[in-house]
Copies of this chain bind each other. A is one copy, B any other.
């Protein structure tokens, strides 16, 4: 007598108010589904935790909101276990929107968003440097921010998965780079391993004063992952024709009240500055442009992304919550199967 395999899942119980909590999710066990014509069944191995997931469960954003009692949307890495889709065969390694579950059934429409991972690529690389974080850093910095060699680039959330790559790519491009992060460990990593020119610890230092010291000629490109007072401090130090790349606003994601906007936004007039938002999904057609350089820099050891790996599907809510209190150092992942 064999035990029927079970698909363990986390469903969205309610939309979060303020900070994400475990009570926003419900544990659920369902039978493992069979793929219909055009569908692929994926065994999920590693899940990615990303700040944007807060937005996906809170309401409609650039993607429709996850519905109540639907599996929580998440990027993940897995192995095809059954396929009735001509593009995928059992054993293929894939990444895509797999969700908080053991088995993901990817339908015809969504199968287009399932990407094959080249053999030999680790989950860490597939979900980090060669995944959404790498693409976001690459296009956000280079296409939206357009830094020139010798310019001063400042990045917040600099020890996070996207920020860490932004800082290193800016160095590769010949910029002076200052990272803003919370705590001495993260700051030490930025000026040590990541090779940035300076780091600011927003938990113990006056960010505006330190930016004034470190950026005597102003900030040419500010890559913002956090919003809030740090965005204001950077706007206040913008150089003539400075660019603010809006990638995220993690300082606001758990707000219950509307966030405050940057009070000094009129500095964009004085400095003839530009503040621009982007969504990496828009660059889908241009991903090949990024993949080559990212793989090259990775192979040369010029892009390093620390991995913070948690374990067990049960820990999915807690793993996501780590992002919002800044406990993660680098890319936050969750291994749910080997």
Contacts and interface: CB of A to CB of B under 8 A. Distances in A.
Given A275-B275, A277-B272, A259 B248 contact: no
* A contact residues, range: 20 to 34
Nearest to A268: B277
A260 B263 contact: yes
User: How many protomers of this protein does the assembly include?
Assistant: 2
Contacts of A261: 232, 260-265
Contacts of A259: 263, 266
Contact of A269 (B267, B271, B272, B279): B279
A265 B244 CA distance: 12
A259 B263 CA distance: 5
A228 to B, nearest CB: 11
A278 to B, nearest CB: 6
A276 B270 contact: no
Identify whether the interface residues of A are mostly helix, strand, loop, or mixed: loop
Interface in A238-255: 246-249, 252
Given A275-B274, A275-B276, A276-B274, A258 B269 contact: no
Nearest to A255: B263
User: Which 9 A-B pairs give the minimum distances between C-beta atoms?
Assistant: A261-B261, A269-B277, A268-B277, A261-B262, A274-B276, A258-B263, A261-B263, A275-B275, A261-B265
